[in-house]
């Protein structure tokens, strides 16, 4: 891709704070554990890494995770249907058709769930966060920065919202670029110099451009359905368990097979929700990396993105009033302080965001 016609670095905000420690300087010479972690992680990337490589890598990972999730949903549907069929008839002849019915039912329910979340869910977060829409007159600089970034992405102008909160955070929503929304907290708006503001907005625009809101809703809906199906199955299984065992032992043979299948279904029903959650969170982390890389594609300035993340990571104020577990994955950094304190540097399978030091390391790897 040509670098011709690169935009000049944006001028700094009038009255911007004096020189700040840059993420790069800190990664080279910093003495805290985070700085050391960043230094070590940068070394893991080949020196020729570009944002295009990062984007490709993320796309592959995301596709794999969606396929995994679909597979899990189908497996749960099949196992439950098979177990129910056996349980009801005690006859293994009905096994195959019931598996097919289970898979189809799972896919149909999944489809409906997606449609429902498609038209309903996108703007729920806006209502919950109490964000206020603003126009070009209210904050010309912010509006201009959003305009610049959406021009770089070739998207229509998203609506711009301000969340009246002193915590540092931002999110994007909208089911497609035509309904895009970018929201930023007042605290972040006031604290960032222009180039970092641009990086944060570029991250949100990248979410809109990659249709992340759509896909994360899809994932959330599928997780919800899997949890619901497993929960319902477990309730039925445990309440009617004794009755079913009597009946199957009196059935026409295959008693052991039926029992094994029931056990498999039960185990799956217990583990599947956990797996679903793990896949969903892995997907969410991949999308954060992707949006970071996508932001660099727009600004061509990895350092500003790294600086902004550093600033966001150093901030400890939570967004408790406006964010909760259901919407946490939509923000640029995890808005729940307890979670961030616990997982700030130790990333677990259930984190919606990668450790900030990992994100910064990926960005700074681009600068070598």
Which residues of this protein are in contact with other proteins, per CB under 8 A? 1-2, 4-8, 10-16, 140-141, 144-145, 147-149, 151-154, 298, 300
Say which DSSP state 179 is in.
Answer: G
CB nearer to other proteins: pick between 9 and 243:
9
CB of 143 to other proteins, least distance (A): 9
Residue among 108 and 151 whose Cβ is closer to other proteins: 151
**CB-CB neighbours of 238 under 10 Å:** 10
Our CB check for other proteins shows the closer of 12 and 32 to be 12
CB of 208: closest distance to other proteins in angstroms? Answer: 15
- Least separation in angstroms between residue 140's CB and other proteins is 6
Q: How many CB atoms lie within 10 A of CB 248?
A: 21
CB of 111 to other proteins, least distance (A): 25
Q: How far is CA 147 from CA 144, 306, 348, 360, in A?
A: 5, 22, 36, 25
**312's tokens:** 């966001």
Q: How far is the CA of 172 from the CAs of 222, 298, 302, in angstroms?
A: 21, 16, 20
Q: Which of 20, 213, 206, 235 is nearest to 122 (CA)?
A: 213
Contact (CB, 8 A) for 38 and 357: yes
Q: How far is CA 94 from the centre of its chain?
A: 40
Give the shortest CB-162-to-other proteins separation in angstroms. Answer: 18
Q: Which is nearer to other proteins, 70 or 157 (CB)?
A: 157
141, 178, 196, 204: which one is catalytic? Answer: 204
316 flagged as catalytic: no
Other CB atoms within 10 Å distance of the CB of residue 126: 19
Cβ distance to other proteins smaller for residue 153 or 323 = 153
Catalytic residues: 204
């Amino acid at each position: 891709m040509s670098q011709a016609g690169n935009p000049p670095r944006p001028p700094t905000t009038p009255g911007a704070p004096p020189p700040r420690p840059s993420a790069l300087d800190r990664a080279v010479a910093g003495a805290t554990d985070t700085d050391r972690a960043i230094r070590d992680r940068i070394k893991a990337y080949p020196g020729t890494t570009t944002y295009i490589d990062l984007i490709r890598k993320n796309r592959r990972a995301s596709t794999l995770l969606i396929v995994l999730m679909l597979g899990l949903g189908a497996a749960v549907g099949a196992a439950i249907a098979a177990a129910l069929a056996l349980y009801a008839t005690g006859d293994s002849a009905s096994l195959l058709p019931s598996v097919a019915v289970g898979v189809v039912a799972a896919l149909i329910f999944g489809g409906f769930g997606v449609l429902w979340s498609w038209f309903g869910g996108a703007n729920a977060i806006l209502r919950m966060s109490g964000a206020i829409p603003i126009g070009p007159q209210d904050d010309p600089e912010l509006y201009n920065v959003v305009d610049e970034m959406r021009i770089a992405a070739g998207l229509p102008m998203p609506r711009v919202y301000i969340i009246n909160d002193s915590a540092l955070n931002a999110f994007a929503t909208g089911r497609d670029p035509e309904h895009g929304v970018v929201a930023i907290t007042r605290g972040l708006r006031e604290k960032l110099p222009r180039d970092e503001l641009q990086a944060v907005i570029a991250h949100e625009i990248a979410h809109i451009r990659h249709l992340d809101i759509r896909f994360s809703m899809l994932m959330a809906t599928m997780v919800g359905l899997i949890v619901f199906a497993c929960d319902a199955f477990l309730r039925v299984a445990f309440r009617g368990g004794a009755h079913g065992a009597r009946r199957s032992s009196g059935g026409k043979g295959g008693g052991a097979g039926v029992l094994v299948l029931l056990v498999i279904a039960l185990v799956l029903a217990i583990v599947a929700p956990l797996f679903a959650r793990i896949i969903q969170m892995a997907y969410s982390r991949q999308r954060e990396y992707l949006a970071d890389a996508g932001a660099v594609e727009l600004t061509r300035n990895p350092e500003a993105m790294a600086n902004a993340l550093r600033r966001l990571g150093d901030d400890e104020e939570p967004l408790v009033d406006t964010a909760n577990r259901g919407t946490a994955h939509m923000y640029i950094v995890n808005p729940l302080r307890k979670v961030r304190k616990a997982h700030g540097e130790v990333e677990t399978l259930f984190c919606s965001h990668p450790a900030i030091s990992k994100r910064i390391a990926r960005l700074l790897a681009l600068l070598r």
